[in-house]
């Protein structure tokens, strides 16, 4: 991490750095939600199944999770400015690649690299913003950053829907390339030069390889299971390989001097619980954000623009609710905030299972808003709970939190699609109305498991 002395400057420089950080991170956040509005168009364009097309979204999330723990090492070695500029250029190139993709395989590979580079950019821009402001103003700066990223994630589906209706799905990737290009000169101007005094550490390449292999095998296994591909024996072998990879990764991270992720933190009951909750919240948020636009277009007959507009009020309430919840955390216990928020989010998923073609747009949007309000109560509480665990490294704890949330999001997209297509996993038939209803109930059940994790967290003894 860059030294604080090298980053803090005049108020004008701080404002410029904040603006550059927000513009730089916006496309990486939008890339996780905007593209969902183009899945139906991709299916129609290339004649692939929805189960196959979901990799356009889930591959991005999984790759982003792999990039997150690498970001800190890269910024220490090359500096914040050089890191962010380099990977913005690469993100821009991959966005153009995705827009010009000639087939699903090419598009998914482009999205994997896009997600990997996004995972490196996101922590680096937040670190620059955090260190670029005086200590007494950092809370405001980080709050602004969180609000901006939440707004980008919420507005992106609406923009994506409009672009699909006006042009085609390829225009979404061009739209992601534009802010990346705009941010590059801003970062060059306002970000600090590399600090030559920053100590150099070695990257845990073996740990990174084991993590990437394990994540890859998990999603390959889910895909093969969903498609009915392979015998029970081959699937069992794959499952054993996943468990072996995760075990070796865990052993590596608890023994190496500079771990990629401090897995020792998971030995604490409360840290393990909060990471589990975060994983399941990511599953519910990104999974539902993927399924809702598909349901709106495929079953309710909405245009891509209307499907994006459906998510917009929820995004607005999520952003506002997060700010309000942050102020309530000093008055309400974390367990209560998490429990109520998750329960409301789960209830909204159950209600979504009863939305039908006879339901009004306002009623559908109101249910989405209810879920996002629940999420706005739960998320800040989970983040604060992690900070209060007392880990030896706040940065490592934050990295583990981001990793579990992004992995949860990728898993949620795959899992809910699998549940939706349970009866027809080997065909290219569109998901039925009943299938979408199963997916919403499945999301609610996963969130129910998060409530159980909150109960375990609240009963665990405080750990220093």
What digits encode the pLDDT tens for the residues 26-82? Answer: 999 999 889 999 999 999 999 888 778 888 988 898 899 888 888 888 888 888 899
Kindly provide the residue ranges of all beta strands, DSSP E only, lying in 176-215, ordered along the sequence: none
Residue pair 410/58 in contact (Cβ under 8 Å)? The answer is yes
Q: 109 and 21 in one domain?
A: yes
Which domain does 399 fall in, by range? 265-464
Residue pair 281/382 in contact (Cβ under 8 Å)? The answer is yes
H or E element that contains 167: none
Residue whose token pair is 């939008």: 30
Q: 12 and 136 in one domain?
A: yes
Q: 211 and 178 in one domain?
A: no
CA dihedral over 41, 44, 46, 50, signed as positive or negative: positive
> From the CB of residue 337, how many other CB atoms can be counted at a distance below 10 Å?
23
Q: 134 and 74 in one domain?
A: yes
pLDDT of residue 451: 92
Q: 321 and 178 in one domain?
A: no
Q: What is the mean pLDDT of residues 271-294?
A: 89
Q: What is the mean pLDDT of residues 99-109?
A: 95
Tokens found for residue 73: 């090492």
Residue 394 has pLDDT above 70, yes or no: no
Q: How far apart (Å, rounded) are the C-alpha atoms in residues 441 and 19?
A: 40
Q: 241 and 101 in one domain?
A: no
pLDDT in tens, 188-244: 998 877 665 555 677 888 888 988 888 888 877 776 666 666 667 777 887 888 889
Domain boundary among 221, 237, 259: 259
Q: 208 and 138 in one domain?
A: no
Residue pair 44/418 in contact (Cβ under 8 Å)? The answer is no
Residue 143 has pLDDT above 70, yes or no: no
Q: How far apart (Å, rounded) are the C-alpha atoms in residues 227 and 192?
A: 49
Q: 451 and 414 in one domain?
A: yes
pLDDT of residue 3: 47
Tokens found for residue 175: 């739209």
pLDDT of residue 5: 45
- Regarding predicted confidence, which is higher, 352 or 381? 352
Q: What is the mean pLDDT of residues 398-415?
A: 79
Q: Please count the structural domains in the chain.
A: 3
Q: What is the mean pLDDT of residues 362-366?
A: 95
Alpha-carbon distances of 87 from 22, 298, 396, rounded to whole Å: 15, 36, 22
> From the CB of residue 332, how many other CB atoms can be counted at a distance below 10 Å?
13
Q: How far apart (Å, rounded) are the C-alpha atoms in residues 398 and 400?
A: 5
Q: 196 and 138 in one domain?
A: yes
Q: How far apart (Å, rounded) are the C-alpha atoms in residues 51 and 43?
A: 10
**What percentage of residues in the chain have a pLDDT greater than 70?**
86
- Regarding predicted confidence, which is higher, 197 or 159? 159
Residue 1: pLDDT band (50, 70, 90) is very low
pLDDT of residue 11: 58
Q: Kindly give the residue spans of alpha helices, DSSP state H, lying in 3-54.
A: 4-7, 11-30, 39-46, 50-53
Q: 193 and 307 in one domain?
A: no
pLDDT of residue 464: 42
Residue 142 has pLDDT above 80, yes or no: no
pLDDT in tens, 232-274: 777 788 788 888 988 898 888 888 887 887 777 777 788 888 8
Residue 139: pLDDT band (50, 70, 90) is low
Residue 365's Cβ-count burial label (10 Å; 0-12, 13-18, 19+) is middle
The enclosing domain of 78 has a CATH number of: 1.20.1250.20
Q: How far is CA 174 from the centre of its chain?
A: 21
Query: Which DSSP category does 260 fall into?
Result: S
pLDDT of residue 147: 72
Residue 97 has pLDDT above 50, yes or no: yes
Tokens found for residue 170: 């390829």
pLDDT of residue 87: 97
Q: 451 and 361 in one domain?
A: yes
Helices 170-190 and 11-30 cross at an angle (nearest 10°) of 160
Round the average pLDDT of the chain to a whole number and report it: 84
Q: How far apart (Å, rounded) are the C-alpha atoms in residues 427 and 313?
A: 35
Q: 248 and 319 in one domain?
A: no
pLDDT of residue 427: 55
Residue 398: pLDDT band (50, 70, 90) is low
Residue 352 has pLDDT above 70, yes or no: yes
Domain boundary among 235, 259, 283: 259
Tokens found for residue 282: 């990511």
């Amino acid at each position: 991490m860059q030294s604080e002395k090298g980053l803090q400057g005049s108020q004008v420089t701080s404002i410029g750095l904040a603006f550059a950080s927000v513009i730089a991170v916006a496309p990486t956040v939008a890339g996780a939600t905007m593209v969902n509005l183009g899945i139906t168009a991709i299916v129609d364009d290339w004649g692939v199944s929805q189960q196959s097309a979901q990799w356009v979204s889930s591959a991005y999330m999984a790759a982003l999770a792999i990039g997150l723990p690498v970001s800190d090492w890269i910024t220490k070695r090359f500096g914040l400015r050089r890191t962010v500029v380099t990977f913005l250029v690469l993100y821009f190139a991959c966005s153009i690649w995705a827009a010009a993709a000639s087939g699903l395989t090419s598009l998914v590979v482009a999205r994997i690299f896009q997600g990997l580079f996004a995972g490196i950019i996101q922590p680096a821009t937040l670190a620059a913003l955090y260190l670029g402001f005086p200590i007494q103003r950092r809370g405001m700066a980080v709050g602004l950053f969180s609000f901006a990223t939440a707004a980008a994630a919420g507005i992106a589906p609406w923009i994506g829907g409009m672009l699909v209706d006006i042009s085609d799905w390829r225009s979404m990737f061009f739209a992601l390339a534009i802010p990346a290009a705009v941010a590059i000169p801003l970062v060059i101007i306002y970000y600090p030069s590399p600090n030559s005094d920053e100590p150099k550490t070695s990257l845990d390449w073996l740990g990174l390889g084991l993590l990437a292999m394990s994540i890859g095998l998990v999603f390959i296994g889910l895909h093969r299971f969903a498609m009915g591909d392979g015998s029970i024996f081959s699937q069992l072998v794959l499952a054993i390989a996943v468990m072996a990879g995760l075990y070796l990764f865990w052993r590596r991270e608890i023994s190496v001097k500079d771990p990629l992720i401090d897995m020792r933190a998971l030995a604490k009951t409360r840290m393990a619980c909060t990471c589990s909750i975060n994983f399941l919240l990511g599953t519910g948020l990104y999974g539902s954000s993927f399924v809702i636009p598909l349901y709106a277009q495929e079953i309710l007959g909405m245009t891509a623009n209307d499907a994006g507009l459906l998510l917009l009020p929820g995004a607005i309430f999520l952003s506002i609710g997060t700010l309000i919840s942050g102020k309530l955390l000093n008055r309400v216990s974390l367990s209560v905030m998490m429990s109520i928020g998750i329960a409301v989010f789960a209830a909204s998923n159950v209600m979504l299972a009863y939305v039908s073609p006879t339901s009004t747009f306002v009623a559908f949007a109101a249910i989405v808003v209810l879920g996002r309000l629940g999420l706005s109560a739960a998320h800040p509480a989970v983040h604060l709970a992690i900070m209060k665990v007392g880990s030896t490294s706040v940065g490592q704890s934050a990295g583990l939190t981001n990793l579990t949330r992004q992995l949860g999001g990728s898993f949620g997209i795959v899992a809910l699609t699998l549940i939706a297509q349970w009866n027809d996993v080997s065909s290219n038939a569109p998901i039925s109305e009943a299938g979408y209803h199963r997916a919403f109930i499945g999301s609610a059940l996963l969130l129910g498991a998060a409530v159980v994790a909150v109960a375990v967290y609240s009963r665990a003894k405080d750990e220093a």
